[in-house]
Structure 1
């Protein structure tokens, strides 16, 4: 640099990109935390989560300063991954019903059902990040369901809420149920449910009405009043 040349020290407006090793550590912590929270609930020891992730306690706290922050980001992590499964399934499967099946089994492997009971009363379900992630997820799953119905492969008398509630219930471990190889039962029962969603031969009349996302929101709101 020549003498007298001015150096532009103004901020560029861009946040520094995290180092690759920091990104990997964060992913390992979130993956380990998801498994530990499923196994032991929201009280899973943070030092054990760090050990399973292969990082030190200081690294865990550098990314997530407390338990509430970790739980918050685990839920976001799972929601983002389930959304990606929905989008990838529709893009990679030529058959819309096969795409729905692929998504449902992949979402079950993300432990969505097992995480639901973990969310304590003090969990902030209305945090803006969570609301945005939920909207993105719902839109991706609605696109899957609509594609199956438009192709005539999926029953017309179901809605996305039916799928999401069944996925949550069927992938949730039974309390005190020491069943070996539980995952194989989860996927077996999910496939039985999915076969019932086929437009043919699924012609039996379902009780009640299709469950919409708005129905689920109103039900949740009524429970909290």
Structure 2
């Protein structure tokens, strides 16, 4: 065989892998270059820095401050996210994926027998709060593309994972039967969003205390009858 990759008839095809077409002739398959590891790390640092600064100062924080927090140059920031909307999109996508991952790991722990089902719900709620979900809500207002395919897919993953976790707690008799994923996520969102006129730093010490009060209301047996029916995420989208 000739050629370093052992495929006949690929010499002289620059930047391509050899393959055979339907007629037996050689065709070129273009290689898609993978991002370098350092480029991926820089992108992750930018998204992390932006998430932190959006929480602290709001979505209009200066771009150069985000680059400084991430430890990269402005050129790197603009190369990855030419428009502010690109960066906001990536922050929301990353946050949604991280929160979905928390729910998935909680459900896995319950199924493996390593966690009480309601304790897993409790851990999920406090973990989601640490992601400052509610503090990022202002970014989701006018002009944000809620229907971008990436976000729709990640939102579906979040909904499925939270419903799964709650289903396990409900089946174990540890979650009151009249609450849904929408109830849970609205509670987390509202209780992690600073009150008007207060900053995140001043508000943060009280978040987990108030979440614990909220969680006490979710645990079975129920201490009261809730008006209406369990709220799903579909209900929230329909009312948006």
Same fold (TM over 0.5): yes
Residues of 1 paired with 2:32 and 2:116: CA distance?
41
Decide whether aligned partners of structure 1 residues 180 and 58 sit closer, same or farther in structure 2, where only a CA change above 3 A counts: closer
Give 1:90-129 correspondences, 5 Å limit: 90-92=107-109, 93-129=114-150
Deviation, 1:38, is 1.5
Q: Retained in 1: the 8 A contact 2:88–2:139?
A: no
Per-residue displacement from partner, 1:32-74 (whole Å, max 9, x unpaired)? 1011112222211011000001110011111111101001111
Q: 1:5 to 1:46 in 2, by over 3 A?
A: same
1:62 corresponds to 2:79:
yes
* Residue aligned with 1:207, SS: coil
How far the C-alpha of 1:211 sits from its partner, in A, is 1.1
Cα distance in 2 between the residues matched to 1:162 and 1:14: 47
What residue in structure 1 maps to residue 22 of structure 2?
Answer: none
Matched, 1:173 2:194: yes
Partner of 1:216: 236
Would you say the 8 A contact 2:50–2:66 is kept in 1?
A: yes
State TM-score, norm by structure 1.
Answer: 0.90
**Separation in 1 of the partners of 2:200 and 2:80?**
35
The aligned counterpart of 2:100 is 83
**Larger of the two Rg values belongs to structure:** 2
Task: Measure how far apart 1:116 and its partner are.
Answer: 0.7
* Range that drifts further, 10-19 or 110-119: 10-19
**Which residue of the partner structure matches residue 20 of structure 1?**
37
Check conservation: 2:55, 2:200, Cα contact below 8 A: no
Q: Give yes or no for contact 1:160–1:212 (8 Å, CA) kept in 2.
A: yes
Q: What corresponds to 1:35 in structure 2?
A: 52
Equivalent pair of 1:158/1:211 in contact (CA under 8 Å): yes
TM-score by length of 2: 0.84
Matched, 1:158 2:175: no
Give distance in 2, aligned partners of 1:196 and 1:152: 14
1:87-120 per-residue CA deviation (whole Å, 9 max, x = no partner) reads 1122235211111111111111111101112223
Considering fraction of residues, name the structure with more strand: 2
Q: Distance in 1 between matches of 2:65 and 2:73?
A: 10
User: Quick one: distance in 2 between partners of 1:13 and 1:135?
Assistant: 33
Question: 1:181 Cα deviation (Å)?
Answer: 5.0
Change (3 A) 1:157 1:57: same
> Which piece of structure 1 moves more, 160-169 or 10-19?
10-19
Q: How many matched pairs?
A: 218
